[in-house]
Every structure is written in C-alpha cells, then in structure tokens.
Structure 1
Amino acid sequence: MPTKKRAWYPGASYHITARGNHRNDIFKEEEDFQYYLMLMYEALNYYNYNNYKIISYCLMNNHMHLQLKTQDAPVGQFMGRINSKYAKYYNKKYNYIGHLFQDRYNSVLIENDQQMLETSRYIHLNPIRAKMVKRPEEYQYSSYGAFIGIYDEEIISSNLILDYFNEKRKRILYKKFVEEVITSQIAEDK
C-alpha cells in the first residue's frame, strides 16, 4: 500500500518526530547524538537552495523532536536524508540488523502562531517530562540553551520563535514562557 502524501505548501512548518523501533534507543552514546546533529547541519547545507529552517529540536534516547520550516520543497527529502544516513551509521556501529526507526517520521502541520509557540515549548520541555533533568537548560541535546543565550546557535533559526516576543527582552520572555509550565506543574503537585 503506498504511503499517504503529506500536506505541504511553501512556508509550511512542522512538528516532526521519529521513534526507535519497538521504542528502543536510537541514541546510546554522546557520539550518536553529535552525529545526528551533524547530519541535521549537513542536510541544511546540502539542501540550502530549498531554504529549510530548523526552528527547535530535542534528541531524546529513543526518539527525536524537530520543528522545521520549509520554503521551497516538502520535508520528505530533508528527513529522508538525515534518518537514512543515521540508520546506516547506527547499524554499522552497533552491528544492528533491521529497522532502526519504528516507522517513517511523523509530521504534524503547524497551522497558526499559537501552535508554533506551543510546539517549541513542548519540544524544549521533553526532558523535563521524562524526568531526565530539573531545568530545560540542563539538557544538552536540545536547542533550548541557544534560545535563551547560553550557547551560540549553529543549526537553528530561533528568530522564527523569538520574534514573537519583545525585541529587547525576547530571550528572557521566551524562557519565562517555557518555564511557566514547570512552575505551574510544581504548584499543582503540592
């Protein structure tokens, strides 16, 4: 049965996820996370004429989240390149046989500004929900640190989110926007 064609139009943004087959880990060591990030960077350069923009990301042990804006081409070639190269790397490194990913990547079309902001916050809070860290900036395989100015941006275009906030305080306001969910959750748990 052929795969269903994904909705796309120039300028479309997506929340993309890919999960390990049987929910198995797809990242086992630091080198694995770094290699996937390098593939994202490489795909941006390879398809630079298509104007893909990575807005935010979070790589977890058994899955990944990516917020991506397209301009001149659908998301398929971009994700296909990254995931197929990563699967070859992983299979060779770990002598793994079979499908690394549970299925082809999942993508949800982002339809409005609120969904754009909520998707970014959801992605950056993933390590908190998984109880891996207490603060989102503690998780090193996420774009959150670049959003709030802890480290330089290399592969993301945070301005696509930060431009929703006051220019002079945008990083501080974004941090508050993301972390207010943590604060309200702690209050509810008491």
Structure 2
Amino acid sequence: MRKRRWFPKAWYHITARGNRKAEIFYDDRDRFKYLQLLREAKFSHPFHLHSFCLMSNHVHLLIETIDLPPGTFMKDIHSQYAIYFNKKYGYVGHLFEGPYKAKLQDDASSILQVSRYIHLNPCRAQLTFEPEEYKWSSYNHYLSPSPFYSDLITTSSILSHFRDTKHYEFFVQMANKVRPGHPLNG
C-alpha cells in the first residue's frame, strides 16, 4: 500500500464506505455515535473538521490536520465505531470496505469545491432537493451556527472566501439548481 502524503495544515477529503456498500448507519443514534467519536478524536488528536455528511452507507469529511496525520485518528474512529455497530446489531466482521480514502486538497478552489460537493451529497443521492433539508451534514451549521456543532465544525476558513454566509449559500445552491432532476430545472 502506498504511504499517504502528509504535512501539518494539510486538507483532506476523507471518504469511507460500508463493506459491500452496506449501510453503516441504521438510525439517528448511530449517526450521533459517529459524531461523538469524531468529537472525541478531535480533542485527543486535534484537527479541524470543516465539512461533513453522513449518508446511510458512507461518510464524507473535509479535514485539516494540525500536528498529526489523519491516520492517527481515523483508524481509531472507524475501529471504535465498527465495534459499537457490530455489538449493537449482533454482527461480526468488517463494517467498512477497507481503509478510509484521503484525497489531498492543495488549493483554495478545490477546498471550496469539496465543501460544496459534500454538502450537496444528499441532493445527488436524491434524498432531498435542498441540502438544508438533510440534517446529517454540516451545511445547516454554515447557514445558522448550532451550539451542538460549535466545538466540532470549523466554518471560518471556508466562509473567509465569501462576503457572508448568504454568499456561501448561493455558491452551494447554484450548483444544486443546475443538477438534472431538480424541480427548478424542468
């Protein structure tokens, strides 16, 4: 396996999918547990979580490292979550199809595109027409900060590229409106 490139302040689009594309979240408690493990990892192995989306069979995270590579915390998060999930549902074996994938984002444009991509994931999957209708992503925290996410999500870096929150909303929504199948697209 090729060693991942890492350096302090590196940004990664991290994805992980269920084994054989199976669901990794069955209910809200499962998603809360995953977020709890992210929060715990963030405090024990500091990093910045800029965007996330928890789908039924995969996750998207936009993470910026501080002093440690993502492998130091992602392995722990996924191991602990798999133990929780297998115990809760009486399963054995691998929950995730393999190690997480981490794509290095090396410029501001790609970081903004990935944040938008993550926030539009439920729309592309046709779970909702509008990203704000999906509660298991960081998008709503960008529009209206929530105390529940204030210690988990860092919005300031992404929002620093926009005049205000409404401008970021427009940036995301315009990509959504041109998506085939959207009601405003005929």
- Measure, in 1, the Cα distance between the counterparts of 2:45 and 2:184: 45
Query: 2:177, 2:185 within 8 Å by CA — same for their partners in 1?
Result: no
Structure 2: unaligned runs, 5 residues or longer = none
User: How many angstroms does 1:4 deviate by?
Assistant: 1.9
User: How many angstroms does 1:79 deviate by?
Assistant: 0.5
Between 1:73-82 and 1:56-65, the stretch displaced more is 73-82
1:110-165 deviations in Å (ceiling 9; x for gaps): 01110000000000000000111121011111000001116343310011100111
User: How many angstroms does 1:188 deviate by?
Assistant: 8.9
1:132 alignment partner in structure 2: 127
2:69 is aligned with 1:71: no
Give 1:27's match in structure 2, choosing from 25, 28, 31.
Answer: 25
- Measure, in 1, the Cα distance between the counterparts of 2:106 and 2:153: 20
1:84 alignment partner in structure 2: 79
- Measure, in 1, the Cα distance between the counterparts of 2:79 and 2:166: 37
1:9 alignment partner in structure 2: 7
2:174 alignment partner in structure 1: 180
For residue 98 of structure 1, give the secondary structure of its aligned residue in structure 2.
Answer: coil
- TM-score when scaled to structure 1? 0.92
For residue 14 of structure 2, give the secondary structure of its aligned residue in structure 1.
Answer: strand
Per the alignment, do residues 111 and 188 of structure 1 end up closer, same or farther by CA in structure 2, a change over 3 Å counting?
farther
Structure 1: unaligned runs, 5 residues or longer = none
1:17-43 deviations in Å (ceiling 9; x for gaps): 000000000000110000000110111
Amino acid of the structure 2 residue aligned with 1:13: W
1:160 alignment partner in structure 2: 157
Runs of 4+ residues deviating >6 angstroms:
none
1:42 alignment partner in structure 2: 40
For residue 56 of structure 2, give the secondary structure of its aligned residue in structure 1.
Answer: coil
Pairs aligned (count): 182
User: How many angstroms does 1:65 deviate by?
Assistant: 0.2
User: How many angstroms does 1:189 deviate by?
Assistant: 4.6
Q: Identity over the aligned pairs, expressed in percent?
A: 42
- Measure, in 2, the Cα distance between the counterparts of 1:40 and 1:21: 20
Amino acid of the structure 2 residue aligned with 1:147: Y
Per the alignment, do residues 115 and 38 of structure 1 end up closer, same or farther by CA in structure 2, a change over 3 Å counting?
same
- TM-score when scaled to structure 2? 0.94
Between 1:108-117 and 1:176-185, the stretch displaced more is 176-185
User: How many angstroms does 1:184 deviate by?
Assistant: 2.0
Amino acid of the structure 2 residue aligned with 1:88: I
- Measure, in 1, the Cα distance between the counterparts of 2:114 and 2:157: 12
